[in-house]
Structure 1
Amino acid sequence: MAPVLIVAKIILQDLWLSKVGWDEVLSLELTERWQSFRSSLSKLEQISIPRWVGTKEANVSFISLHGFCDASERAYAAAVYLRVAGEGEDGYVSLLAAKTKIAPLKLVSVPRLELCAAVLLTRFLVKIVEGLQFVSVPVFCWTDSAVSLAWIRGHPSRWKTFVAHRVAEIQTSLPGAQWSYVNTKLNPTDAATRGISPDELMDSSLWWSGPPWLAGREEGWSCGKPESSGAEDSEMRMAVNHSATSLHHSGDVLQRFSSYLRLLNVMPLCLRWLHNFRDKSHKRSGFVSPEERAQALTAVIRSTQSTAFRDELAALTSGKSLKRSSPLLPLRPFCDADGLLRVGGRLRNAVLDYDEKHPIIIPKDHHFTVLLVRHAHAVTLHGGLQATAAYLAQRYWIIRSRVVVKR
């Protein structure tokens, strides 16, 4: 009775959508729909369903299960048919069971609903196979959705989460099922997704016996190939591709270093090579000196600041004031002799070291900042948030330092 009863399910959902109270009078449209459905129910008494499906006939050689599924914007459905046939003969097809579900109130695309119908059919078939002990009976599944068929035939890892989970369930629950395409006009579950009257149900040979070709021999079951619209690609899992590009600024070069100490070991050698290339008469050699390390660290910090605080550096070097939206405005920054941004303010008169009075400003989102904080954490023997932040504050002012160190 599924094609008839789905009408009542849709009416019930429309009642929820209209937010009608228990004691309120229905709208004229809902009243007419309900009365029409109620008056037609008496005609169901005229329907008789044969209980014998022919599985124990003496000439039966082949038994197969055929499941059909379909979906509309309001509902989705599944129906299972049993086909029995003798050697070299046409088969006898019987409707075993059917099930319908209302589409959720949350807007879901029709292809996704078609996939939900396929899941409903899969679960339905699993129960029928177990209940009738048809473990060795071949199972055929049919859908008129080219999109959901492409999803089911693909590997779950190719699709997004919603589709992947359902495809995985279909493939693992019925691994031996053969999924194929059926034309919408020959799909019996189409009636169960839109609803029909009892009069139409009594005369629907498609519903009671499936498509005409199903009773014929298996070589005549071809229903054509689905026309792919490419809609299945909308659920394709996004692939992330990494490409190598030329290094235009030193910020990219810093990404190559995984530790602060390695950075201070390599960068001085790079700067030495650059110095020797420019000034061949005063070449540097031997061990890396502390002065070379200091120059390399200054160059790295200058490069980091030029990437993160480009507008602020341009304003200060040209003698202009910072924009009100600048995060450095409360720090009253200035450029020192090496071109580094430092914190200004009243601490310039304090009896402190120069680095403590005017710490170097470091951006919060930069790879060098990560290396710097990790190094401080190691130097303080993993002393935690307070110890690491206090150690860094002796020379550096990291924007939102507590958040950065905690992260």
Structure 2
Amino acid sequence: MNLREFTSNNTKLREEIADQASDLHPKVLGLIWDITRDIIHISTKIPSMSSITKRTVTSAISAIYDPLGWRIPLLHKIKIFLQDLWKNQYDWDVRLRDTKVEEWKGITAQISGFEKDLPCFLQEKKGEVILVTFADASTNTMAACTYLHSNTSAQLLMAKSKLPSLQCHYTIPKLELNGLALAMRLTNSVFSQLKPVINIKGVYVFSDSEIVLSWLKIKPEKEVGQFVSNRLIEIRNITNQMTEQGCFVRFGYVSSQDNPADCATRGLNKDELVLHFWWTGPNFIYFSSRKWLNQGKFLRLMKTIKLIGMRMKTQ
């Protein structure tokens, strides 16, 4: 395979290679990389449309490429808007009624024009780091975000969100538990990618649901219903996978006001998101993790795993 283009944030390396990409602001995974300052530039624009239908709305949302979930709070309301079109069974190519058109214009005005610069450099390969993940859920969204914490610095790595199915109606605690399961999948994905190159000594996972944290304390052999049991099994399995690789895992409570995942379940406009602690995590994670243990209630999960089987009655 021939190398089509090459560039680097290292000036000396670029000078040593004669044939190189001339663009100092190449696109990487849909984001602009400023190689001179070694930063990622995020820009979000939603073009105006002559006719607003479910098809054009879907196309506009699909055009926003956000593989790392950095813009989840910004895109929250627009995804809820699209889900509402499905819920109310709008046809693909029928123009939306005037009230929905105005709603669409109002939402996109709060999104289009967003810009943010983020540093590419996160951490030297030497030294120990921890992953800090936050989970949250509301009636219409479940979300999680993971941060790389080193000494007194922290930076958003990746985030995920999911809208609940329109066919199922769960209580808030069960949605919060789903959010925690989503957080564990996200953490495990980040952990598996970074572990070979960075020394990750531990993982902290925070939720603002005390009911969910109380479920985590339940012994595996206790019956708590199939839905809750299956989510707890998944959470325990992922926890065991990480601990077997020499990484401790702790679960703890965080208040809603200190939970960055909270904004991913309710949304932020472009002005609110620019300086929000979504990018760097809440203030308390800038203190030593030892202080977290002194101030908060953390728990470990039991290693015993219970397998749930389906019970079927035959006549």
Give the TM-score of the pair, scaled to structure 1: 0.51
Consecutive aligned runs of 4 or more in structure 1 exceeding 4 Å deviation: 222-226
Q: How do 1:246-395 residues align onto structure 2 when only pairs under 5 Å count?
A: none
Q: Is the 8 A contact 1:129 1:135 kept in 2?
A: no
Higher strand share: 2
Match of 1:84? 150
Tell me the percent identity: 32
Match of 1:53? 122
Q: How do 1:156-167 residues align onto structure 2 when only pairs under 5 Å count?
A: 156-158=220-222, 159-167=224-232
Change (3 A) 1:2 1:127: same
Of the three residues 96, 102, 111, the one matched with 2:173 is 111
Match of 1:207? 278
The residue matched to 1:137 in structure 2 has which SS? strand
Q: Is the 8 A contact 1:80 1:96 kept in 2?
A: yes
Of the three residues 263, 269, 282, the one matched with 1:197 is 269
Q: CA deviation at 1:137?
A: 2.7
Inter-partner Cα distance in structure 2 for 1:54 and 1:211:
19
Inter-partner Cα distance in structure 1 for 2:122 and 2:279:
12
| One-letter code aligned to 2:124 | T
1:41-86 Cα shifts (integer Å, max 9, x gaps): 3322x21111111234xxx64310000000000101000000011x
| One-letter code aligned to 1:200 | E
Inter-partner Cα distance in structure 1 for 2:108 and 2:208:
31
Higher helix share: 1
| One-letter code aligned to 1:7 | K
Q: Is the 8 A contact 1:181 1:223 kept in 2?
A: no
Q: Is the 8 A contact 1:43 1:199 kept in 2?
A: no
Inter-partner Cα distance in structure 2 for 1:156 and 1:15:
41
Unpaired stretches in structure 2, ≥5 consecutive residues: 1-70, 244-248, 299-314
Q: Is the 8 A contact 2:75 2:111 kept in 1?
A: no
Q: CA deviation at 1:223?
A: 5.5
Inter-partner Cα distance in structure 2 for 1:33 and 1:74:
18
Inter-partner Cα distance in structure 2 for 1:170 and 1:185:
25
- Provide the alpha-carbon RMSD of the alignment: 2.1
Q: Is the 8 A contact 2:128 2:199 kept in 1?
A: no
Q: CA deviation at 1:135?
A: 7.2
1:236-295 Cα shifts (integer Å, max 9, x gaps): xxxxxxxxxxxxxxxxxxxxxxxxxxxxxxxxxxxxxxxxxxxxxxxxxxxxxxxxxxxx
1:168-210 Cα shifts (integer Å, max 9, x gaps): 1101111342110001110000000011111110021x21111
Match of 1:24? 94
Match of 2:235? 170
Q: Is the 8 A contact 1:65 1:81 kept in 2?
A: yes
Inter-partner Cα distance in structure 2 for 1:52 and 1:33:
39
Q: Is the 8 A contact 1:55 1:63 kept in 2?
A: no
The residue matched to 1:24 in structure 2 has which SS? coil
Match of 1:13? 83
| One-letter code aligned to 1:194 | R
Inter-partner Cα distance in structure 2 for 1:17 and 1:200:
29
Match of 1:183? 255
Of the three residues 203, 209, 214, the one matched with 1:139 is 203
The residue matched to 2:110 in structure 1 has which SS? helix
1:37 aligns with 2:107: yes
Q: CA deviation at 1:157?
A: 3.1
Match of 1:130? 192
Q: Is the 8 A contact 2:154 2:286 kept in 1?
A: yes
1:2 aligns with 2:72: yes
The residue matched to 1:139 in structure 2 has which SS? strand
Q: Is the 8 A contact 1:4 1:196 kept in 2?
A: yes
| One-letter code aligned to 2:233 | A
Inter-partner Cα distance in structure 2 for 1:115 and 1:135:
29
Inter-partner Cα distance in structure 2 for 1:195 and 1:98:
14
The residue matched to 2:139 in structure 1 has which SS? coil
Inter-partner Cα distance in structure 2 for 1:217 and 1:23:
55
Larger Rg: 1
Q: Is the 8 A contact 1:69 1:118 kept in 2?
A: yes
Q: CA deviation at 1:155?
A: 2.4
1:62 aligns with 2:123: no
Inter-partner Cα distance in structure 2 for 1:156 and 1:31:
50
- The structure, 1 or 2, with the larger RCO (C-alpha pairs under 8 Å, 6+ apart) is 2
Q: How do 1:216-231 residues align onto structure 2 when only pairs under 5 Å count?
A: 216-221=287-292, 224=296
| One-letter code aligned to 1:94 | Q
| One-letter code aligned to 2:232 | V
